[in-house]
Amino acid sequence: MTNAYDDYMRGIVAPMRQELVDAGFTQLLTPDDVVDHMQESKGTSVIIINSVCGCAAGLARPAVIEAVNQVEVKPEHLVTVFAGQEKEATAQMRMFFDEVPPSSPSIAVWKDGNLAYFIPREQIEGQMMEQVRDHLVGALEQVCSK
């Protein structure tokens, strides 16, 4: 039996997911997907914890897409989990960087099994998209060049 609310939300978030997928991000939909990626991937991963809020739509998603396209040295992996949708996968992801409070949207840079950089919602919300993009570009240039 399907739940009308769940069906409605799947329809609402579909374009929010697709925006990142079209930009080359892989969705991690289950806790196992998250563990596999975080433990097995080599190099640098950009991780966006997506959400339905306006700061994700107007700031985080466009900023991360533009930042990844602008940097000269590209991260090896682009992945995303969706807060409020895949709750277990999101909780599993957050366990990998439990030293920072959970926030969504947020952007993490993971390198060789460690959290290299984290941009929480507080550094996204209320900013201009270009500021968030430039912040991430700076972080990626620093992390990916090492």
Which residues belong to the active site?
Answer: 53, 55
Name residue 115's beta-bridge partners: 110
d(CA 66, CA 96): 25
